[in-house]
Amino acid sequence: MSERRPIIAANWKMHKTHLEAIQAVQKLSYLLDRKDTERVEVVICPPFTALRSVQTLIDSDRLPYGLGAQNVHVEDEGAFTGEVSGPMLAALDVGYVIVGHSERRQLFGEDDATVNRKVKAVVRHGLVPIVCVGETLEEREAGGTQSKVAEQVRMAFDGVDAAAVSSAVVAYEPIWAIGTGRHAEPTDAGQVIEVIRGTLSERVGKDVGAAVRVQYGGSVKAGNIREFMVHPEIDGALVGGASLDPEELALIVKFR
């Protein structure tokens, strides 16, 4: 279990121009040293418009960060105005794609079937999906957290082979905790994460369930990251708001 390398992914959502993104990554690179990024994998997920610039900077300065996109289209090419495909991301050296973020599900009508098609589009091109799952406050209060999350996980990985599942990342993000300043209790999150692993183990075997990295997401900041990082089930975090400030992001990665 301790084999799993924690992964901190910065989800910048619809923030930062490409110039601001470059500045932020440069600043981050002054604040982090090799020891930090050996211990924790750092992935930057800027908007599409900044992917190329951030990739060039990572490349030219040999920065030890992964690059992630926040979305992808299910098809590889075609008449889909405004969309971006897996092959386009792969050609930019993008390594990760956030799939099924609750904002995509709630604001852009992505259902579990779409999330599944997106996961397949991502793995088809050798990229790693960061699959987001999580319950609403109503679902939590009705005691439906575990069944909701298990179903989202089952659907997202339906028909995806064991090798692709084992290198995937899942982000457990309770919707009521996203951008609210109210985070889940690490013990609670850990229990849901056990359900996530159990669900994947049933489908593709215990080894795979134990190998998948599962992050927590929802109001993570420098002041609370440590509680999550020390929990044995939690393999890092998907960080929104707090990741926009490179100083805060560096403190999160260092989690002292």
**Enzyme catalytic residues:** 101, 173
Contacting ligand PGA within 210-249 (CB under 6 A): 217-220, 238-242
Interaction between residue 89 and ligand PGA (CB under 6 A): no
Q: Which is nearer to ligand PGA, 192 or 204 (CB)?
A: 192
Q: Which is nearer to ligand PGA, 104 or 208 (CB)?
A: 104
112/245 with CB nearer ligand PGA: 245
Q: Among 19, 126, 137, 179, which residue sits at the site for ligand PGA (rule: CB under 6 A)?
A: 179
Quote the least distance from Cβ 183 to ligand PGA, whole Å. 8
The minimum distance between CB 84 and ligand PGA, in angstroms, equals: 19
Residues 6+ apart with CB under 8 A from 3: 211
Kindly state the smallest distance separating residue 88's Cβ from ligand PGA, in Å: 23
DSSP labels for the chain? -TTSPPEEEEE-TT---HHHHHHHHHHHHHH--HHHHHHSEEEEE--HHHHHHHHHHHHHTT--EEEEES---SSSSSS-TT---HHHHHHTT--EEEES-HHHHHHS---HHHHHHHHHHHHHTT-EEEEEE---HHHHHTT-HHHHHHHHHHHHTTT--HHHHHH-EEEE--GGGTTTS-PPPHHHHHHHHHHHHHHHHHHH-HHHHHHSEEEEESS--TTTHHHHHTSTT--EEEESGGGGSHHHHHHHHH--
- What span, in angstroms and rounded, lies between the C-alpha atoms of 49 and 188? 36
Closest to ligand PGA by CB, 165 vs 238, is 238
Which residues between 115 and 174 bind ligand PGA (CB under 6 A)?
Answer: 173
Q: Which residue is nearest to ligand PGA (CB)?
A: 240
Q: How far is the CB of 11 from ligand PGA (least distance, A)?
A: 4
The footprint of ligand PGA on this chain (CB under 6 A) covers a number of residues equal to 13
| Closer of 218 and 246 to ligand PGA (Cβ) | 218
- Smallest separation, CB 93 to ligand PGA (Å): 22
Residues interacting with ligand PGA, by CB under 6 A? 11, 173, 178-179, 217-220, 238-242
